[in-house]
Structure formats: C-alpha cells, structure tokens
Chains A and B, each alone.
Chain A
Amino acid sequence: GQSLEQPSEVTAVEGAIVQINCTYQTSGFYGLSWYQQHDGGAPTFLSYNALDGLEETGRFSSFLSRSDSYGYLLLQELQMKDSASYFCAVSLRYSTLTFGKGTMLLVSP
C-alpha cells in the first residue's frame, strides 16, 4: 500500500518562505504531485516531480528525492491568498493519485 505523511499545520507571515515536507512509503510510483485546496473547494494542481530534483513554477517549487522517500513544496514570497491546504500525492498507474492528509498553511500579515 501507499502512505504519505505531512505536517498537519504550518504558519508563516506574508513575504516569508515556507517549506511543506512529505515523506512517503510506497511500493512504486510514477511521480509526486502537489495540490492546493482553498476552504474545501476544488483541489488545483500545483506541481509534479517525475524525477529527483527541483521543479520551479513561479513562486512555487517542488523537490523529490526517491532515495530518501521524501519531497517538499517550497512557497516563496508568501501572500495571504496562499492560506490553504496543500496535499502531496503519489501518482500511480492510470494517473490515479494517493493523497496525504494535507497541510493547512496559515499566512498572517
């Protein structure tokens, strides 16, 4: 089976940098994805790592190390609108996803 662990909550201030970690135990996967969800709304795709290393998309970056069973999402220049839940997920056959329980990010002024 698959299991992913994330911190339940992270707090930061506007303009800061925050890192959300994700450790996983899985028997095999194609890549690690990150999704954002505001107030129980539709999850939206942020980033995907098929290979080890860093992927950068604007203010967001994501990292994967398969040897360490570890990944993270890095958010820079935090804005109030970044307050949301962030989920890591492993991508399996047919692009199905197994999600972690999510990390609630609270950004304060």
Chain B
Amino acid sequence: NAGVTQTPKFRVLKTGQSMTLLCAQDMNHEYMYWYRQDPGMGLRLIHYSVGEGTTAKGEVPDGYNVSRLKKQNFLLGLESAAPSQTSVYFCASSDPRDNYYEQYFGPGTRLTVT
C-alpha cells in the first residue's frame, strides 16, 4: 500500500515551459487535492476533485489546470511556467466514507522556475 505518490520529486523549468505533475493514490479515495507551499507559509489549495471527472478551483488556481480522468490519478498542469510558481507542490487525498476529515499527503514535488 503505497498511499499517495507524486512524480517527479524535483524539476527545474525555464519561464514559459510547461509541465504536468502526477499524483496517484491507491486507497480508493474519492477526494483529491493539490496544494502549494512557499517558504514560511502554510499550504494553499490550488484545485481539488470530489470524484472521477470532476475538478474545482481552490484558493490560488490561476496559472494551473487539473484533470481527474481516473479515480486514482490527479494531474496538475502548468501551461506557461512563471518564477512565481516556484514552490513545493503537495497532493493529498481523503474519503468522505472513512475519516472524512483526514487528508493523506504525498511526499511533494519541488519545482523551480528560472
């Protein structure tokens, strides 16, 4: 049982490049989330999904897109990276049927945009 995994662990992009971050969970959770964490800050919600085929905006969605084509995967895309998107990105999952209040986090992706 791997829990929540994220790919890649590290990435360096040049301004204007695009990339996709992959999150996968093997707990059959309905809900999935993408957060970003900047130095000295708490995590801020980018987008979330409450089931396969659904997505919704969080607190800081600008510059990001997401897709949830399969229940176990949640993709975060940056179409045209900007230095302001340098951050650590965490994916998380939870399930309304089981300890609905507890989110399980992945190890994070450290992204630098130069």
Contact with A along B27-43 (1 / 0, CB 8 A): 00001010001001111
Contacts of A100 in B (CB 8 A): 42
CB contacts under 8 Å to B, within A84-109, are 87, 89, 91, 94-102
Say how far A17's CB is from chain B's closest CB, in angstroms: 24
CB contacts under 8 Å to A, within B59-79, are 59
Residue contact A43 to B101, C-beta cutoff 8 Å: no
Interface status of B85 (Cβ within 8 A of chain A): no
Given A95-B96, A96-B58: A87 in contact with B103 (beta carbons within 8 A) = no
Chain A's interface size range is 20 to 34
Residue contact B101 to A48, C-beta cutoff 8 Å: yes
Given A31-B101, A44-B105: A99 in contact with B94 (beta carbons within 8 A) = no
Choose among B90, B101, B108 the residue that contacts A91 (Cβ–Cβ < 8 A): B101
Residue contact A95 to B31, C-beta cutoff 8 Å: yes
Given A41-B108, A43-B43, A43-B90: A96 in contact with B101 (beta carbons within 8 A) = no
Taking beta carbons and an 8 Å cutoff, which residues of B are in contact with A? 4, 31, 33, 37, 40-45, 48, 50, 56, 58-59, 88, 90, 94, 96, 100-108
Taking beta carbons and an 8 Å cutoff, which residues of A are in contact with B? 4, 8, 30-31, 33, 40-45, 48, 50, 87, 89, 91, 94-102
Instruction: Return 10 A-B CB contacts under 8 Å, by A number.
Output: A4-B42, A40-B108, A44-B105, A45-B103, A94-B31, A94-B48, A95-B103, A96-B45, A97-B103, A99-B44
